[in-house]
Amino acid sequence: MNAPDPHLAPASAAQLIAAFACDFDAGRLNENERSLCARSLADSFGVALGGRHEHAALAALDYLRAAGLLLPPTSPPPAASLWGRTERAAPEIAAWWNGIAGHVLDYDDVTPPLRGHPSIVLWPALLALAESRGLPAARLAPAFAVGMEVICKLARGIAVEHYARGWHSTASIGALGAAVACGHLLGLDAVRIGHAIGLAVAQAAGTRENVGTEAKSFQAGHANAAGVRAACLAEAGFEAGPHALDGPHGYVALYAHGEDAAGMLADIGCAPLELSRAGLDVKQYPMCYATHRALDGLLALREQHGIGLAEVAWMQVRTSRGALVPLVHPHPRSGLEGKFSMQYAMAAGLADGAVRLTSFTDAAVQRPEVQAFFSRVETDEAPGPVSPRWAELELRLHDGRTLRIRVDTLHGSSQKPASDSELAAKLDDCLRWGRCAGSGQALLRRCLQLSDHAGDGGDAAALVHELQQLAISGDTP
């Protein structure tokens, strides 16, 4: 990124982001970063296929149908695909629906600085826009990297307090990253990307009160639609305030505590990129990430000692500060509520020896022996720093034994990444749940072609068509 002229007035936060996004070159991505982009695309698309028959996705589809917003399967560009379906829609509509389908299972990847899910607020927007415009698939990875950089830089500056105040950071920060990523994809100049940022601020929203409900997935979908809409409006010449991010009445003042926005962006685009620095954590369990360290520990104890629900008299889960905040359902009654419950995570892990998509039917959560176990699970946050994250488990067994374990490094995290075979197995779980006959290995293999070389990957529309065939051609009732 070009250094600012010291004789000019300080650049606004939006101008700093816009200059980075406009100047970013695909050649800056190394082989590992390209692979991360490709794997995140496979994860996002596969999880969305798994979510395509969920009630939230079907209700959203009914809404689009009633509003006359669905297009026939043969509709030419600028229509875009609804993932795993034959219907098409305008890009911002497709991005909205695909974001809902991709987030409703809460199985999509995360990044620690955001305290949320970056890929599911980037890929639906980028694929819909690239498909509808017939853009080269090679432009997708750098656009994703740009969006990831913006999301993580903003998150490092404000996410802890932003989240604590009740914002659903996946959506409320993600919408800004989506707009910038789409602006880069379209090749907008810095002025127009600056306007896109202001237009994204005008739409940024999402509350944690919707966690554990279908509206959480709506918020992710909305962030995608907002990103597409903001970039396309800016492309058309629509303008926004230059200080929508950092002005006295701007985003940082309203959504956070007026932190120094320019300061948090001072190293934007500097090596290492956030794609490498923050990384992407592939979720191993289809529930809130706040449960995953405890689940890793519990399943290790279960395998080592051969214990189940009947053997455990009492247990405590103690975590680093702030880790339990999203877990708002200590006594869940539905599959969706179970995704945000430490008590259910522990009960399901002990009862079944695994936590998969089948763990989150209403019937699975309502099992009498599982419901009865909730009162045996205590949770506690330790004082101290928010990070690094950790979880400690203590289990007291009916036979008098006490078992303990601590988990610091999470399997699937950027520090201990899932292998390609493990990711493919997760995608298989999603495809089976979504009643698709395609294989996770085939989905991952096609996405990994994006990481081969900067010029490979073909046309984005052809890429989407190939990914769609994994679902539609093998659709099972």
Residue 464, number of CB atoms within 10 A of its CB: 21
122/141 Cα distance (integer angstroms): 11
Residue 387, number of CB atoms within 10 A of its CB: 13
Tens of pLDDT, residue by residue over 333-353, are 999 999 999 999 999 999 999
> Which residues have a Cβ under 8 Å from the Cβ of 286 and sit 6 or more positions away?
105, 106, 107, 339, 355, 356, 357, 359, 360, 429
**Residue with tokens 């190939």, as numbered in its chain:** 466
**Predicted pLDDT of residue 457:** 59
**Predicted pLDDT of residue 164:** 87
Q: Report the mean per-residue pLDDT for the chain.
A: 94
**Predicted pLDDT of residue 2:** 52
The pLDDT-based confidence of 464 (bands split at 50, 70, 90) is: very high
pLDDT exceeds cutoff 90 at 354: yes
Tens of pLDDT, residue by residue over 28-37, are 999 999 999 9
**Predicted pLDDT of residue 102:** 98
Phi and psi at residue 435, in whole multiples of 5°?
A: 60, 45
Q: What residues pair up with 314 in beta bridges, in sequence order?
A: 396
224/222 Cα distance (integer angstroms): 5
| Between residues 475 and 365, the one the model is more confident about | 365
Phi and psi at residue 142, in whole multiples of 5°?
A: -65, -35
- To the question of domain 289-407 being in CATH 3.90.1300.10, the answer is no
pLDDT exceeds cutoff 60 at 140: yes
Q: What residues pair up with 397 in beta bridges, in sequence order?
A: 312
pLDDT exceeds cutoff 80 at 452: no
**Residue with tokens 């946050």, as numbered in its chain:** 381
Q: What residues pair up with 391 in beta bridges, in sequence order?
A: 319, 407
174-186 helix and 13-23 helix, angle to the nearest 10 degrees: 40
Phi and psi at residue 207, in whole multiples of 5°?
A: -115, 145
**Predicted pLDDT of residue 473:** 58
Tens of pLDDT, residue by residue over 207-260, are 999 988 999 999 999 999 999 999 999 999 999 999 999 999 999 999 999 999
| Percentage of the residues of the chain whose pLDDT score is greater than 90 | 89
Tens of pLDDT, residue by residue over 147-200, are 999 999 999 999 988 998 999 999 999 999 999 999 999 999 999 999 999 999
pTM, two decimals, is 0.92
The pLDDT-based confidence of 458 (bands split at 50, 70, 90) is: confident
**Alpha-carbon torsion (33, 34, 35, 41), positive or negative:** positive
**Predicted pLDDT of residue 450:** 87
Lowest mean pLDDT, pick from 61-75, 110-124, 456-470: 456-470
**Predicted pLDDT of residue 476:** 44
Match domain 13-278 to its CATH number in 1.20.1250.20, 3.30.360.10, 1.10.4100.10, 3.40.50.10860. Answer: 1.10.4100.10
Tens of pLDDT, residue by residue over 281-307, are 999 999 999 999 999 999 999 999 999
Residue 421, number of CB atoms within 10 A of its CB: 11
Average pLDDT estimate for 264-276: 96
**Alpha-carbon torsion (220, 432, 82, 446), positive or negative:** positive
The pLDDT-based confidence of 3 (bands split at 50, 70, 90) is: low
pLDDT exceeds cutoff 50 at 455: no
**Residue with tokens 């505590």, as numbered in its chain:** 257
**Predicted pLDDT of residue 186:** 98
pLDDT exceeds cutoff 60 at 4: no
Tens of pLDDT, residue by residue over 35-63, are 999 999 999 999 999 999 999 999 999 99
Tens of pLDDT, residue by residue over 83-135, are 999 999 999 999 999 999 999 999 999 999 999 999 999 999 999 999 999 99
Domain boundaries, the chain: 13-278, 289-407
